[in-house]
Structure 1
Amino acid sequence: MATICVFCGANNGCDKVYLDAAERVGRLIASEGHTLVYGGGRTGLMGTVADAALAAGGQVVGVITRLLSDKEIAHSGLTDLRIVDSMHERKLTMATLADGFIALPGGIGTLEEFAEVFTWTQLGIHPKSCALLDVDGYYRPLVEFFNRMVDNGFLGQEQLDQLIVESDERRLLERVLHEKPEVFLKWLDNSAEIC
């Protein structure tokens, strides 16, 4: 069984479709016998994914900073709640525990967390799959931006091809569990002609 890290918003978003997706993902991870690790909050999509996994009998590990915990944002019903001193330690702990990463819709924090682990995959720091659950086209503009990076010579196509993007959570989890990324040379040949 695997430990799946889910990054997602501490807010609900403006459409119930996001909450529904978070609930399905939490329930799916637990029902398949996997452990959920996430940011340890009780609000928004974070709370929803954790509650769904717990309700399905799953193990849920939350990692939250002391600052956020002191503001009473921490989820009190988790299997394991780890309180750390900094956001850096929070992200490193989640990344170390995880066998793969899924980003649900969220804000800047979600984007920052996901970008870091995807960068680590790209650099070969860890051989862990990174996936975006594209709920109702939420991540379509981001994927278009990644393609723009490729078109402009800042990202290799073979690196982008390792990003998993699915709108179906079952298919997404299956790919996260079974597709392991390769390491490609990150730096493009500077002696080559300009694109």
Structure 2
Amino acid sequence: MKTIAVYCGSSEGHDPIYMEEARKLGKHLAENGIKLVYGGATVGCMGAVADAAIDAGGEVIGVMPEKLASLEITHENLTELHVVKDMHERKALMAQYADGFIALPGGAGTLEEWFEVFTWAQIGYHDKPCALLNINDYYTPLVSLFDHMIEQGFVKKEYKDLIVMEKDAANLLRKLQNY
């Protein structure tokens, strides 16, 4: 695994554990020689994962839509920064770079980006791992929702089985490398 796309919030969340674990993930990526491709901002969990990867000597690629480049603080110390036209181009370029995908806690944008690549895996557009870093049980309700969707006949159990989930960044990376 050479490059992992990380989707996460431009916010820090209320519990400091979210920023701590984002930094741990960035550090683990760099220490394992895995490039990070992410949203390109310096704020929130996005900034934390990027800063930690950079501080540990890793390569970091940012992909930011023009509209967000004027709203969010664009990271100036990246290996590469791509300012693209819109979110569609951002997601396509990040997916092109990535050998796997991880969602850290975040809001609707984080979920939307991760669900798109997860849906692509379900329908066979790629066979790259789609993972959730379940910090502070953030994604536990989502897993319960998947169980409900399976019970109601809207999701096949094998689709839920595609999700790689761990509470610890190092364990999650091991699972992705063995995927």
Match of residue 84 from structure 2: 84
Match of residue 146 from structure 1: 146
State how far apart, in whole Å, the 2-side matches of 1:132 and 1:9 are.
13
Give the structure-2-normalised TM-score: 0.98
Match for 2:38: what amino acid? Y
Match of residue 188 from structure 1: none
Q: CA deviation at 1:175?
A: 1.2
Whose radius of gyration is greater, 1 or 2? 1
Q: Does residue 110 in structure 1 map to residue 110 in structure 2?
A: yes
Gaps of 5+ in 2: none
State how far apart, in whole Å, the 2-side matches of 1:73 and 1:92 are.
22
State how far apart, in whole Å, the 2-side matches of 1:158 and 1:53 are.
33
How many residues get paired?
Answer: 179
Percent identity of paired positions between Structure 1 and Structure 2: 50
Q: Does residue 23 in structure 1 map to residue 23 in structure 2?
A: yes
Q: Does residue 120 in structure 1 map to residue 134 in structure 2?
A: no
Q: Does residue 133 in structure 1 map to residue 133 in structure 2?
A: yes
Match of residue 64 from structure 1: 64
8 Å Cα contact 1:132/1:166 also seen in 2: yes
State how far apart, in whole Å, the 1-side matches of 2:85 and 2:35 are.
23
State how far apart, in whole Å, the 1-side matches of 2:20 and 2:112 are.
23
Match of residue 40 from structure 2: 40
8 Å Cα contact 2:35/2:58 also seen in 1: yes
Gaps of 5+ in 1: 180-195
Give the structure-1-normalised TM-score: 0.90
Match for 1:134: what amino acid? N
Match for 1:110: what amino acid? T
State how far apart, in whole Å, the 1-side matches of 2:175 and 2:66 are.
34
Match for 2:106: what amino acid? G
Q: CA deviation at 1:69?
A: 1.3
Q: CA deviation at 1:100?
A: 0.1
Residues 4-60 of structure 1 deviation map (CA, whole Å, 9 limit, x = unaligned): 110000000000000000000000000111100001111000000000000000000
8 Å Cα contact 1:100/1:177 also seen in 2: no
Match for 1:60: what amino acid? V
After superposing the two structures, state which structure 1 stretch, 1-10 or 19-28, moved more. Answer: 1-10
Tell which has more relative contact order, 1 or 2 (C-alpha 8 A, sep 6+): 2
Q: CA deviation at 1:171?
A: 1.1
Match of residue 161 from structure 1: 161
State how far apart, in whole Å, the 1-side matches of 2:166 and 2:84 are.
32
